[in-house]
Amino acid sequence: MGTAILTVGECVLDVVRMPDGTEAAHAGGSPANVAVGLSRLGQQVRLLTELGDDAAAVPIRAHLDASGVATVIAPSSVRTPVATAVIGPDGAATYEFDIAWTLEASGLDLDAGHLHTGSIAAHLDPGAAAVTAMVEAARGHATVSYDPNVRPSLVGDRAEVVARTEHLVALSDVVKASDEDLLWLYPGVDTDEAVRAWSLLGPALVVATLGAEGSLACLRGHMIAIAPLHVDVADTVGAGDSYMAALLDGLARARLLGPQGRQELAAVDSATVEDIVSRAARAAAITVSRAGANPPTLTELDGA
């Protein structure tokens, strides 16, 4: 492997409040989930994030520690982000967010061979501006990956989100998005058309997850369709993040990330990438087969 990975982004305490008033909470946040997934697969990973000095941070810190994620907490006065799903008598959920992102990364030792970011951290100001600056600076010495993982209720004007997304896509070597992300960003545009358009912006590899329809990869303009895996679904929480983690793990094991990775990725064959993307799909399938954002270990994934 040999490539240290830095994941930049939010931790979120996800709280589910049932009609009878009972609550259950678990640690989440897309970049944090990716870091956990990478660590469980044996990668050397650090997470740059913000956490408050409050009760909501306690289970998040415990979860990251238990998963072996080295955490860099940026100085901040914000509360730990909380997302609450309130379940009504009819089973429908309404959502409440208490999320701020104010990242300032200056003065921190953040050297890594690969940088991954996305989701709220890449779109919610003022911290999103710092994330973009980090990506721009990393291009000179590291490979970059990005997962927009759009949260429409938090990101504001669509045109501004599209512009920022396309800027980060152009700075990245590897991009992964869901078909739901692409539909929100580009209403009425076919997924394969959106994937091809992103590929033309610069990344060597663009992947779109299609839920029960499998996934689609574009390697330097060449399209690769990955057949769906059929499993009994417990829930889909964290599936995309498990996919992203396994995708990066597979690329790292093939020596396609890191200072020399950009050149290697520019020459890799489609069969190698198909194997890597198929393995990422298996990681997502394992995750949806059990409750919560619970990505597989290396033993679980390669024994699947």
Q: What is the CATH number of the domain that holds 61?
A: 3.40.1190.20
102: left (phi over 0), alpha (psi -120 to 50) or beta: alpha
Instruction: Give me the pLDDT at residue 120, please.
Output: 94
What mean pLDDT is predicted for residues 38-52? 96
- Phi (first) and psi of residue 176, to 5 degrees: -130, 135
Please name the amino acid found at residue 19.
P
Find where tokens 């208490």 sit. Answer: 98
Give the pLDDT mean for 50-64.
Answer: 95
| 133-145 residue pLDDT tens | 999 999 999 999 9
The whole-number pLDDT of residue 2 equals 59
Q: pLDDT confidence of 111, banded at 50, 70, 90?
A: confident
The structural domain count of the chain equals: 1
8 A C-beta contact, residue 245 and residue 196: no
Q: Average the pLDDT over 111-135 and give the result.
A: 95
- Domain span at residue 76 reads 5-302
pLDDT tier, 205 (very low <50, low <70, confident <90, very high otherwise) = very high
**Percentage of the chain exceeding pLDDT 90:** 75
Query: Tokens representing 93?
Result: 């959920």
Q: What is the pLDDT of residue 84?
A: 86
In the three-class reduction of DSSP (H, G, I as helix; E, B as strand; rest coil), residue 46 is classed as: strand
pLDDT digits (tens, 9 = 90+) for 226-269: 998 888 887 777 889 999 999 999 999 999 999 899 999 999 99
Q: Which among 69, 83, 84 has a CA at the least distance from the CA of 120?
A: 83
Rg (CA), the chain: 18
Q: What is the pLDDT of residues 159-202, one digit of tens each?
A: 999 999 999 999 999 999 999 999 999 999 999 999 999 999 99
Residue 40 CB contacts under 8 Å (≥ 6 apart), including other chains: 67, 68, 245, 295, 296, 297, 298
Reference 5, options 54, 38, 40; nearest CA is 38
